[in-house]
Amino acid sequence: MITFDNYVPSIYINGRWKSASSRKKTPVRNPATWDILTHVSYGDEVDTKNAIEAAGEAKEGWASLSPRKRSNILYRAYQLMEENAERIAAVLTMEQGKPLREAKGEIKSAASFLLWYAEEANRLYGEWIPSSIESKRLSVIPQPVGVVGAITPWNFPASMITRKVAPALAAGCTVVLKPASETPLTAIEIVKILEKAGVPDGVVNLVTGNSAKIGDALLHHEAVRLITFTGSTEVGKHLMRESADQVKKLSLELGGHAPIIIFADADLEKAAEMTLASKFRNSGQTCICANRVYVEDKIWDNFKKVLVEKVEAMRLGDGLGDDVDMGPLINEGATEKVHEQVKDAVAKGAEVACGGNIWEGTDKGHYYLPTVLSDVRNDMLVMKEETFGPILPLQSFTSEEEAIRAANDSEYGLAAYFFTKNLDRSVRVAEKLDYGIIGINDVFPAVAEAPFGGIKQSGIGKEGGHHGIHEYVELKYISMGIEN
Ligand SMILES: NC(=O)c1ccc[n+]([C@@H]2O[C@H](COP(=O)([O-])OP(=O)(O)OC[C@H]3O[C@@H](n4cnc5c(N)ncnc54)[C@H](O)[C@@H]3O)[C@@H](O)[C@H]2O)c1
Ligand SMILES: O=C[C@H](O)CS(=O)(=O)O
């Protein structure tokens, strides 16, 4: 069992852990019990300015290190995360709520970004361009953007940090990290690992506290050249608007509303299992989880029966407990929002096939029953707004064209999935779905070696893969005149 002191200094600037300049503190709660775990520093614009200045002073030294030296430090951080996985996973579950099994999986994912970018640090190549003019030599060199402001969400409090910090450090950038207010303890664990791995003072800095004030300080300081953000589309739009003043580079990983299409020629047992796994991972609080299911009418009765039976067998509870399939939602507001979507759907004619209410199994924490809705219509909130909870609306379709049209009818464009055994259909549908990430008979596409990112109102840019490091790089073109 992990315990915490009543207060944990959570601001890390220039290699020193400290309290907020205002001396303010804020509680960190366990979503499963709503008990206070500890208190952390509640920083603001003053702390953020200090962190940005430290990152600016460290920038030249870090960028001038050889890629191999940066790579070695990232690789050591990877080893340390693997060695400390059990502890970090337990801390993550205690402040975020997901089952320990899922938290352990997230730490492996978070570590994989450190490993991947330890390797990619050595492969950031430039170009030599054959000149059309004999007296010129043309080249392109990649250079780090410099000081990066990184803002991350609470739903994956470990992997969303390393998915940004690892490529930033690999490219030679320095970072000011602002984690979600709900999950600062995981961020502290990760920064301590980076510190132990040998990241020099000022290269990585951590500021917890007032999101708006920290964000504004990052947005309006000239030294910050990139804002990399993972979170809601609403906040992402705010950052876009505010970053225009200094034309800051942006990388945005925003909201999603993933459709899953189940064709009659799919492996129905596998499709049901994976639909359930996608929807109820992290209690449905993931950006790429199934948000709508379209089922071919020929298999509607059978698929719905199989799915509901599996959902009704799910076990809720504290994520630290054994045999827990689904933990709590992050807070009371989350359960209220989810319940509002269910009430809206029912009021407009949806049927609650199972669940449909706040879980009465405990008087502590905020849990919502895994819920399947059928007879849903497109004017229901659950079919348009990101649910971010354990609600699964089902709708039938007759033709492939109808399914694709329905799946694409969204302002979001992050991930989409479909199940079929037909190879021709796989190619046709994958090419026509308007999303950045497509899963075919697979609902777990996120791996460090592949580019993750959305289109439309799901974001700009990619994280992961060899693409992901280019968010942290500027390309400099050099035209050199010579005497032949
Ligand atoms: N596309 C992806 O890769 C991805 C991954 C995870 C989560 N998400 C999205 O994130 C959302 C859930 O996370 P959340 O509730 O933490 O999102 P959020 O937008 O409320 O918060 C995200 C981060 O932004 C900070 N923030 C909030 N207001 C801010 C402001 N005015 N200025 C600066 N920072 C501010 C928060 O403190 C947090 O650190 C969902 O929409 C989910 O789809 C997307
Ligand atoms: O919530 C969004 C995360 O990106 C989910 S995953 O870890 O990439 O699957």
Q: In a structure prediction context, what are the per-residue pLDDT tens digits for the chain, which is 484 residues long?
A: 799 999 999 999 999 999 999 999 999 999 999 999 999 999 999 999 999 999 999 999 999 999 999 999 999 999 999 999 999 999 999 999 999 999 999 999 999 999 999 999 999 999 999 999 999 999 999 999 999 999 999 999 999 999 999 999 999 999 999 999 999 999 999 999 999 999 999 999 999 999 999 999 999 999 999 999 999 999 999 999 999 999 999 999 999 999 999 999 999 999 999 999 999 999 999 999 999 999 999 999 999 999 999 999 999 999 999 999 999 999 999 999 999 999 999 999 999 999 999 998 888 999 999 999 999 999 999 999 999 999 999 999 999 999 999 999 999 999 999 999 999 999 999 999 999 999 999 999 999 999 999 999 999 999 999 999 999 999 999 999 999 8
Where do the domains of the chain lie?
Answer: 7-254+458-477, 258-447
288 Cβ below 6 A of ligand 2: yes
How many angstroms separate the CA atoms of 367 and 327, rounded?
A: 7
Name the residue with the closest Cα to ligand 2, atom 2.
287
Residue type, 6: N
* Centre of ligand 1 from the C-alpha of residue 339, in Å: 21
- Residues in the chain, how many? 484
Ligand nearest to the CA of 152: 1
Q: pLDDT at position 335, please?
A: 97
Q: pLDDT at position 414, please?
A: 98
Q: What are phi and psi of 216, to 5 degrees?
A: -65, -40
Question: What interhelical angle do 300-312 and 268-280 show, nearest 10?
Answer: 50
- Residue reference for tokens 């992402």: 236
The active-site residue out of 287, 289, 386, 463 is 287
Q: pLDDT at position 84, please?
A: 98
Q: Characterise 472 by phi-psi region: left (phi > 0), alpha (psi -120 to 50), beta (else).
A: alpha
Per-residue buried b or exposed e for 135-158, using 16+ beta carbons within 10 Å of the residue's own CB:
eeeeeeebebbbbbbbbbbbbbbb
Per-residue buried b or exposed e for 303-322, using 16+ beta carbons within 10 Å of the residue's own CB:
bbebbbebbeebebbbbbee
Local structure of residue 67 (DSSP, 8 states)? H
The active-site residue out of 45, 95, 253, 463 is 253
Q: Are 329 and 285 in contact (CB under 8 A)?
A: yes
* Centre of ligand 1 from the C-alpha of residue 312, in Å: 31
**Which positions ≥6 away from 366 have C-beta within 8 Å?**
31, 34, 328, 329, 330, 331, 332, 334, 335, 358
Report helix, strand and coil shares of the chain as percent, to nearest 5: 40, 25, 35
274 Cβ below 6 A of ligand 2: no
How many angstroms separate the CA atoms of 51 and 207, rounded?
A: 8
Q: Collapsing DSSP states into helix, strand and coil, what is residue 147?
A: strand
* Centre of ligand 2 from the C-alpha of residue 472, in Å: 20
Binding-site residues, ligand 1, Cβ < 6 A: 151-156, 160, 178-181, 211-212, 215, 230-232, 235, 238, 253-256, 287, 386, 388, 414, 454, 459
Tell me the fold of 258-447: Aldehyde Dehydrogenase; Chain A, domain 2 (3.40.309)
Element (H, E) at 290: strand 290-296
Ligand nearest to the CA of 48: 1
Mutate to test the pocket of ligand 2, among 102, 156, 443 (most ligand atoms within 8 A of CB): 156
Q: Are 413 and 254 in contact (CB under 8 A)?
A: no
Ligand nearest to the CA of 462: 1
* Same CATH fold assignment for domains 7-254+458-477 and 258-447: no
How many angstroms separate the CA atoms of 276 and 286, rounded?
A: 13
Tokens of 302: 């059978």
156 Cβ below 6 A of ligand 2: yes
The strand pair at 412-413 and 204-206 is best described as unpaired
* Centre of ligand 2 from the C-alpha of residue 479, in Å: 42
253 is catalytic: yes
Q: pLDDT at position 143, please?
A: 98
Name the residue with the closest Cα to ligand 1, atom 40.
232
Q: Collapsing DSSP states into helix, strand and coil, what is residue 139?
A: strand
Q: What is the CATH number of domain 7-254+458-477?
A: 3.40.605.10
State the closest ligand 1 atom to the C-alpha of 414, by its place in the atom list counted from 1.
Answer: 1
The strand pair at 36-41 and 25-29 is best described as antiparallel
Element (H, E) at 479: strand 473-481
Q: pLDDT at position 382, please?
A: 98
* Centre of ligand 2 from the C-alpha of residue 286, in Å: 6
Q: Are 478 and 131 in contact (CB under 8 A)?
A: no
Nearest to 24 by CA among 239, 220, 214, 235: 214
287 Cβ below 6 A of ligand 2: yes
β-strand partners of 319: none
Ligand nearest to the CA of 386: 1
Q: What are phi and psi of 290, to 5 degrees?
A: -60, 130
**Which positions ≥6 away from 88 have C-beta within 8 Å?**
81, 107, 158, 186, 189, 190
Reported pTM = 0.98
How many angstroms separate the CA atoms of 32 and 367, rounded?
A: 8
Element (H, E) at 259: strand 258-262
Tokens of 213: 């004030």
Tokens of 465: 């893969």
What is the ipTM for the molecules in this complex?
0.97
